Amino acid sequence: MAEFITHPFVSAKSDSPDSTLVSANEWNDGHILSGGINGQILVYDSTQPNNMKWIDGGKSLSNTYTAGAVGSPFTTPIFATLNSSSNIIAQINPDLYCFTSGGTIYSFALSVNGAPIFFIGSILSATRSIFPLSTSFTPGAYNFTATVTASGGTFISIEIVLRILSLGIL
């Protein structure tokens, strides 16, 4: 169902046969918005001439990486590219489930465009671990890379889920 912006006052007057006059049908009709692209939202912005601006809406992106037996450390790009046309704040939720040989602990590191943004050590093998973090991004493209390192032995299996929720602009 399409939603429209309408006037707060709804006219109950009957329509006039005179097409040069504004009557109830025209007054009560919804407004059609133009501009913007799919996925953008309209927000109030007092710096704009009409007090409104189209911005990128919230986005939820997710990717899962799974592997069988691999050596340690193991590094993989686990996410395609996050593109931002404005300064945004995002919540990043790495979700890990890894088995190591001998039930040893492992560590997890997340990098964006080659720069580390998150590290945690001493994660128990065979336990699901989720580590939410919030960060901001300036306009651009961002590629995510995960590295898991077993404290001893190798990985029997790896599952890494990366969920990113774009919360809005700064």
CA separation, residue 144 to residues 5, 76, 113, 114 (Å): 39, 9, 6, 8
Give the count of alpha carbons within 13 A of 32, CB side only.
2
- The CA-CA-CA angle for residues 109, 113, 118, to 5°, reads 25
Q: Which CATH architecture has domain 59-169?
A: Sandwich (2.60)
Two tokens at 97? 């489930």
Separation between Cα atoms, residue 118 and residue 129, nearest integer Å: 14
| β-pair type (115-124, 105-112) | antiparallel
Q: What integer pLDDT is reported at residue 1 of this predicted model? A: 39
Q: Is 119 helix (H, G, I), strand (E, B) or coil?
A: strand
From first to last of the 170 residues of the chain, give the pLDDT tens digit. 345 677 777 778 787 788 788 887 777 777 777 888 777 778 788 888 888 888 776 667 777 888 888 888 888 876 656 677 777 778 888 888 888 887 788 999 988 888 998 898 888 888 888 888 888 888 788 888 888 888 877 888 888 888 887 766 65
What does the alpha-carbon distance between residue 89 and residue 91 come to, in Å, rounded to a whole number?
7
One-character DSSP codes across 23-83: -HHHHHSPBPP-S--TTEEEEE-TTSTTSEEEEE--EEEEEEEEESSB-SSEEEEEEEEEE
**Domains in the chain: boundaries:** 59-169
